[in-house]
Structure 1
Amino acid sequence: MSVDKVVADPEDAIADVPAGASLAVGGFGLCGIPGVLIHALLERGAGGLRVVSNNCGVDDWGLGLLLRAGLISRMTSSYVGENKEFARQYLHGELEVELVPQGTLAERLRAGGSGIPAFYTPAGAGTWIEEGGLPWRYSADGSVTVASPPKETRVFDGRDHLLEEGITTDFALVRAAAGDRHGNLRFHSSARNFNPLAAMAGRVTIAEVEELAEPGELAPDDIHLPGIFVQRVVPVAPGDPRAEKRVERRTVHMEA
């Protein structure tokens, strides 16, 4: 029996995302971000979101739109350096932030999606990540109100390792270059870095796809994420400005 997961309207696809929900959001910088779904969330206005994503977009694009609107209460990220509003909210006690080494964040999402509750890694051993005390939330006067807890440690082959917990979220929002009606997805280049992992971690995963394929049109070897991890597929309408692909930082080389 065929299972058609296509939801034509992005607003309908995210309609059951409540205030306070946890979200895993794909993307790497501004590459492969689910801009259409992010805009739908922005228009809906559900706040208190707890977001897990490699970064938080920039001030006027990607997750930065939700942040600027005050809809995000907590971020779990590995990089936040391109967003001035992010820094302002964090330093003024408006946003809780858990910074995680990038490889550890990727593995925590993969582990959660694979049913693995925790794993050991040498990343962060001997640092504040292990010792605890990293500021997660400041108060308005600059004092630390929430700090990271210390990590459980264990020695393997004479080397310290930290216990890290897998991440699962209520929903996941991802973007794929192509997907079929069964939810099988193909990603392009750097968009593959975090999108498959975020999709695995979500209990309900919503994928916006640039190309909608019929079942069987995607070759098995071209599928990067099987449809078992995806519950809803949203085709991106041609020319939709919410699906714009931006360059995060353009550099040029000039001959001397």
Structure 2
Amino acid sequence: MNILEKIIARKQIEISESKKHKSVSALENESLFSRKTISLATALRSASSPQIISEFKRKSPSKGIINDQVLPENVTSDYVNAGAVGLSVLTDTDFFGGSFDDFLKARQANPGIPMLRKDFIVDEYQLYEAKSIGADIILLIAACLKPSEIAALSQKAHQLGLEVLLEVHNAEELEQSIGDHIDIVGVNNRNLKTFETSIETSVSLSELIPASFVKISESGLKDADTIVKLYQHGYKGFLIGETFMKTANPGAALADLQQDLTQHSNLNPLVL
């Protein structure tokens, strides 16, 4: 059993327990359930330069503890002040050290920015959870869902007013999983089965993603040169977590990257 299979097996148990403790009706009665969601896809589509989606992530299965010394409300506020177009907050506890509490603190501190619930969505119940904690976008990972499940979950997400980020790792996943209810296609440069990372994954898939979809690149993004290269291949957004979180001040790390991107633009005005 690889790590992704272990995560999904644990997630199924977790969801079963959650359903016993809180019904869908109870989730619908949460105060944030009725808030109007904010579109990340719109913000990215209209952008004329690379946009950073900054992530709050305490740990990962491959890296262990990344940063457990910072608070989600502080880090995410610093991200927003440094120009992040959106926020991603992990809510998986066992493997990534995240929680609903982390998400809610970030949501309260940043009411006006789109936020992604970063988790392994395999059940419709989790969509109601996402809406109840103030999420705007949910993640569907093609590697752990059947195409029919992606279609059903994405359609239900839209009914709830949530945007859908479809994450793919190869051409087969992309071809089988893309559909009308997908808002953003994210190419994960990290293979979730081996945890090896290659930016060339985004490069090779860039031409296969229809122009009607906003596309973002995820994982292994560390410098302005890489981001600009991928921007030239049509990627509008760049989801970055570990690069920022492994520093003492993740918000400052984003600010430094933004400065590098600005300098790159000044030196190469035709690039951006």
- Normalised by the size of structure 2, how large is the TM-score? 0.33
- Normalised by the size of structure 1, how large is the TM-score? 0.34
Q: Which has the higher strand share?
A: 1
Q: Higher Cα Rg: structure 1 or 2?
A: 1
Q: Which has the higher helix share?
A: 2
